[in-house]
Structure 1
Amino acid sequence: MDMQMKRNENVKLLTIPLSMWRNDFQFPSYSSLSCSANHLAPLFNDTAAANYLCAQFDSISKGLADTTYFLFSPCSAPAPAKNTMNIMLTKVLDAAAGGLSYYLFGFAFAFGALSNGFIGRHFFGLRDFPMGASPSGDYSFFLYQWAFAIAAAGITSGTIAERTQFVAYLIYSSFLTGLVYPIVSHWFWSSDGWASAARSNGNVLFGSGVIDFAGSGVVHMVGGIAGMWGALIEGPRIGRFDRTDRSVALRGHSASLVVLGSFLLWFGWYGFNPGSFITIAKGIMGGQLSRRHWLGALRLLVGHWNAIDVCNGLLDGFAAITSGCAVVEPWAAIVCGFEAAWVLIGLNKLAAKVEYDDPLEAAQLHGGCGAWGVFFTRLFAKRVYMEEICGVGRPFGALMGGAGDSDIGGVRVGHGDHGGVVQKMNLLRISRDEIGEGIVLSTLVAAFTVTTWTRRSIEHGRGNPNWRRGTGRSKNMMKLEK
């Protein structure tokens, strides 16, 4: 497997690979900031100096791209203040426990050489990892893939927020990053995966393989579907639905932080949708169009403007275009974002209808819109881009290939059964008293000292451990009426 950077004899192009592709296969490769030693040499009259500067420039650009992952992590504003510290702790656990699991097992399962097409079998603990030309080795590829694994785990933390035990999440994060996500990424991104567009041995699926440039299916669908199973097993939060089965909105503690976090995610996507400036531009257009369409649609549906919902509208466009941002035209990215908004609106309506509780709408946003992005790529991939990436003769557009059903099946078998086992061991859901008091107040320390109550929150028993769905008004409401 070739771990070397792609080079040209005269112009040194610095790239960060997203996966271990064949020498003649260019997808997906992360074209970071480029530096031409051939162009710099006349400025210094010294080719060696130009090469040295390009090498340093390459290291800086790699570091900037890899560390954009951390902008995906800090998010707790959609949750009540009493649970903020717990959610932030889960983010740290993703990077710590989940990262260790990916180092020990996950990377080997994802990109270990000599696989059977289903799972890798080498590089456990990075043992025998190819060092390349540098004596100290080049671990940028591992670091980049680690960031994707942690991002997938972070998606699920939002779906099961406010009701999950700390130990259960620790087990979950390690399991997802160490087994479930690596297997799916091996299928679609390794050079040996059965569905990979870069498959070097055997027939390529549908003649083209699965085109998922930066993870609509591999990252977003995996995280969203895993979270969906967790939320289904745990059930809704107390107070999420009233005694008439009507959905009750449980808002977070800070709309300002939600907007700030959305902008951080927006910037973080520039590192996760790499390739070129036109790729970034298409990602922006998909997200912007989805945001505007979402804003207008909700104004018509609910009769008011809502900044938090608009932020979700922005992110669903990004999640959808992530798959095809390298192989579709800019106008197609706009169409993708437009339809992604309707996908999210429809899934949210369906979730409320079936009493599915996802505090951050993560399963609908990442799982649903990620699936739409994979399907959209199968329809609108352009021939010239497909030939540039995959070579002449590869199918393009009109359902050329894709594997959203494989994503769903793989995560269902791996993570759904795992969640059921944890639930049977009484390790999954927190107690009713902890729900009312707040996870951080009962097991950790409080992140905020001020609690704000409204008549609506009292009426629906928000935060009251004595309130039970289906038993009528809460005790606080009856006292208020007296």
Structure 2
Amino acid sequence: MLHFRACLLAFITLATCVSAQEGNAKIEAKLDTIIKKLDASQGTLNEVAKAVKPAPAPAAAPAAASSPADASLKSDIETVQLNLNYVWMVATGALVFVMQAGFAMVELGFARAKNSINIIMKNFLDFCISAIVFLFIGFGLMFGTSAGGWIGTDSFWISNHPADDKMWAFWFFQVVFAGTACTIVSGAMAERTKFVGYLIYAALLAAIVYPLGGHWCWGSFGGAFGVGGEKGWLEAMGFVDFAGSTVVHGCGGACALAGILVVGARHGRFAKDGTPRLIAGHNIPLAALGVFILWFGWFGFNAGSTLVGNGTIGRIAVNTTIAPAAAALSAMISMWFVQGRPDVGITLNGSLGGAVGVTACCANISPASAFIVGLIAGIITTVATIALERMQIDDAVGAVPVHLCNGWWGTLSVALFNMDGFDAHKLGVQALGTFSVTLTAFTVCFGIFKLVDKMVGLRASDNEQIDGLDFAEHAANAYPDFQTTEQA
């Protein structure tokens, strides 16, 4: 509009000049009238423009408060997740319980037929005893209110919790771990240990020895379930043992080493000059079945240690597959290289060594790293087995190489293969933790076995070993249709 008016004024000026030259007064009067009308029209247009000018955009309205329906939906989702977590703990705890059968089958297969009933009795009763003493003593020492990060001081009697308390699922998941640590020793000391002496040891390990190291490393874990909540001294330093390479397997392996040092080698295992003699197991297929059962249970052992049912369990299960597989191959190949033929026993134990090795680090390493952890674990199993034999230490099933040596290796692997990067300080903490727990377990159990040996006797006599512990301890025969002793 302003441009049009300027043009018009220019035209009027020109016209005015023309009219002045021609002296036409009427034209000037006409033009003045037009200009006045245009001014009036311009004013009207300005007022109209103001009237239709868009109002400024209002400020963003605050977000509407969540409706009661949204809040209810969120609450329902959280409730479902919590219930899923409890189901996950109980289900995976049941898988770990099945590992008791795996340990029994491995020990049965690697031992002689004349000791079968004794082996079944030990593997069955050590869990029964562990469950009772862990209920009354062990759980409180492990997860109760901490005394300076060293030991729990309460939660010894948990029967006053309501029926739907979340603590029950947590207790169940923990008791099967205690049973696992306990039964590791049975295989190492097989075929020459008195039954009563073994049961006394089982009670003391589940009540005191295992909970002690467990509190140092996992003491705060019960806080989310209504018990304790303070960190043990190793946990406070940053020590990580996700599913128990040290807390469970290292502890069990250390106690196994203490036991076989106190009880001595089986009758006839070594010649007078120290030359080792082979004592063949009576059923290797049964031992292989036991390894399969253990591997199956290990998926619950490792993935269940998340204590929650979420997406993290997938990679843990993958790592628990890759490491034992790689370890079985490397153990077989390494022993093949040493003795010129593949050995079934070391192959089976190699896979278990790989499972132990990945137990501590399965949640913070990649599958590629799990492959390396497994390869080295298999070699460790082979080398440690040969070393124990040359030192005339009789480990009937290879529990020390599998559980103690690979417990150390797996715990150090937490720092060595951490996906967030290597940290030398972290490696130092891991080393301090695994050797502190296992050295303590070894020392305490060595004292326990010495005390048991003095009080009730720990070692079966040579005649009892020749006859078989099934006859000597239980007056029974697992295979009545077959001769199972060296004596006719």
TM-score (norm 2): 0.75
CA displacement at 1:135 relative to structure 2: 4.8
2:289 to 230, 245, 260: 260
1:333 to 355, 361, 370: 370
Question: For 2:441 and 2:119, how far apart are their aligned partners in 1?
Answer: 23
User: Partner of 2:110 in structure 1?
Assistant: 78
User: Partner of 2:205 in structure 1?
Assistant: 176
**3-state DSSP class of the match of 1:77?**
helix
Are residues 452 and 368 of structure 1, via their aligned partners in 2, closer, same or farther at CA, if it must alter by over 3 Å?
Answer: farther
User: Partner of 2:448 in structure 1?
Assistant: 418
CA displacement at 1:415 relative to structure 2: 1.0
Contact 1:205–1:401 (CA<8 Å) still a contact in 2? no
User: Partner of 1:285 in structure 2?
Assistant: 322
CA displacement at 1:334 relative to structure 2: 1.2
1:347 to 362, 366, 384: 384
**Which residues of structure 1 form unaligned runs of 5+?**
1-9, 11-37, 194-198, 387-393, 454-462, 466-475, 477-482
Question: For 1:148 and 1:206, how far apart are their aligned partners in 2?
Answer: 18
**3-state DSSP class of the match of 1:273?**
helix
CA displacement at 1:437 relative to structure 2: 0.7
CA displacement at 1:63 relative to structure 2: 3.0
CA RMSD of aligned residues (A): 3.0
Task: Kindly provide the amino acid, as one letter, of the partner of residue 258 in structure 2.
Answer: W
Contact 1:86–1:440 (CA<8 Å) still a contact in 2? yes
CA displacement at 1:291 relative to structure 2: 0.7
Are residues 333 and 163 of structure 1, via their aligned partners in 2, closer, same or farther at CA, if it must alter by over 3 Å?
Answer: same
The higher radius of gyration belongs to 2
Are residues 395 and 424 of structure 1, via their aligned partners in 2, closer, same or farther at CA, if it must alter by over 3 Å?
Answer: same
Are residues 337 and 464 of structure 1, via their aligned partners in 2, closer, same or farther at CA, if it must alter by over 3 Å?
Answer: same
Task: Kindly provide the amino acid, as one letter, of the partner of residue 319 in structure 1.
Answer: V
User: Partner of 1:118 in structure 2?
Assistant: 150
CA displacement at 1:84 relative to structure 2: 0.8
2:439 to 409, 414, 430: 409
User: Partner of 1:436 in structure 2?
Assistant: 466
Question: For 2:230 and 2:479, how far apart are their aligned partners in 1?
Answer: 56
Question: For 1:400 and 1:138, how far apart are their aligned partners in 2?
Answer: 30
Task: Kindly provide the amino acid, as one letter, of the partner of residue 478 in structure 2.
Answer: A
**Residues 59-74 of structure 1 mapped to structure 2, 5 A cutoff:** 60-74=87-101
CA displacement at 1:297 relative to structure 2: 1.3
User: For residues 269-309 of structure 1, what are the alpha-carbon distances to aligned partners after superposition, in whole Å with 9 as ceiling and x for unaligned?
Assistant: 00110141101111211111111111111222112223232
CA displacement at 1:261 relative to structure 2: 0.9
CA displacement at 1:206 relative to structure 2: 9.7
TM-score (norm 1): 0.76
Task: Kindly provide the amino acid, as one letter, of the partner of residue 422 in structure 1.
Answer: V
CA displacement at 1:442 relative to structure 2: 2.0
User: Partner of 2:480 in structure 1?
Assistant: 449
User: Partner of 2:457 in structure 1?
Assistant: 427
Query: In the alignment, is residue 357 of structure 1 matched against residue 394 of structure 2?
Result: yes
Question: For 2:117 and 2:319, how far apart are their aligned partners in 1?
Answer: 36
CA displacement at 1:136 relative to structure 2: 5.2
Single out whichever of 142-151 and 413-422 deviates more from structure 2: 413-422
User: Partner of 2:121 in structure 1?
Assistant: 89
Task: Kindly provide the amino acid, as one letter, of the partner of residue 340 in structure 2.
Answer: G
Contact 2:146–2:219 (CA<8 Å) still a contact in 1? no
CA displacement at 1:328 relative to structure 2: 1.5
Contact 1:208–1:395 (CA<8 Å) still a contact in 2? no
Contact 2:150–2:233 (CA<8 Å) still a contact in 1? no
Question: For 1:146 and 1:307, how far apart are their aligned partners in 2?
Answer: 32
Figure out how many residues of one structure are paired with residues of the other and give that number.
399
User: Partner of 2:49 in structure 1?
Assistant: none
CA displacement at 1:87 relative to structure 2: 0.7
Task: Kindly provide the amino acid, as one letter, of the partner of residue 216 in structure 1.
Answer: S
